[in-house]
Amino acid sequence: MRQRTVLVVEDDAAIRSLLSLVLETRDYQVTSAADGQQALLRIHAERPDVVLLDLMLPHVNGWSVIEALERDARLNQIPVIVMSAYHDAAQLKGRGVRAFLSKPFDIDGLFRALEDVFEATTSTTSEGAMTSLNRSTLPSSPRLTDPVLGPRFVWGPHPI
């Protein structure tokens, strides 16, 4: 089985480095970008298996990255996992986002999200389309909760 590629899009260099290191320990190939403009260039050039995307980025924000992916038929099947302190995850509903990780999030939740995305990619139709990654077929139950902070890892498209 080939090594999966994760594009980490995060403007905070320390978080970007930490995520890269942690992902590499689980044998993911990691590439990174510090803003949305760099992310779009890397996505076009490298076609990662999944994009781990912060929303609040300089230059081109994460919302613009999501919109660009939605408009490009060659790229709109690349799964996106949003990680953000921005808590209105309901606005991500139907936008191609497979999971939302509320910052701060735990690493176990990140790996569960990645595993779920990659499990879904193995379910394909005879034409090769990723049916279980269709934007309208997301799991609908919260996964991890914190007794103080509430949902830390939430799937859409259910009311959040």
pTM of the complete model: 0.74
User: What is residue 146's predicted lDDT score, i.e. its pLDDT?
Assistant: 36
Per-residue pLDDT of the chain (160 residues; tens, 9 = 90+): 679 999 999 999 999 999 999 999 999 999 999 999 999 999 999 999 999 999 999 989 999 999 999 999 889 889 999 998 876 666 777 677 888 888 888 899 899 999 998 888 765 433 333 323 333 333 333 333 333 334 433 333 333 3
In a domain, 160, yes or no: no
Q: What is the DSSP letter of 147?
A: T
What sign does the dihedral 16-35-31-103 (CA atoms) show?
Answer: positive
Domain that includes residue 52, residue range: 5-154
Nearest to 75 by CA among 100, 104, 53: 53
Q: In what order do the strands lie in the sheet containing 5-9?
A: 29-33, 5-9, 50-53, 80-84, 97-102, 150-154, 144-146
Please report whether residue 71 resides in a domain: yes
Distance CA 92, CA 149 (A): 20
User: Structural domain tally of the chain?
Assistant: 1
Residue-level pLDDT at 99: 87
Has residue 159 been placed in a domain?
Answer: no
Q: Which CATH number goes with the domain that contains 123?
A: 3.40.50.2300
Pairing of strands 50-53, 5-9: parallel
Determine, yes or no, domain membership for 109. Answer: yes
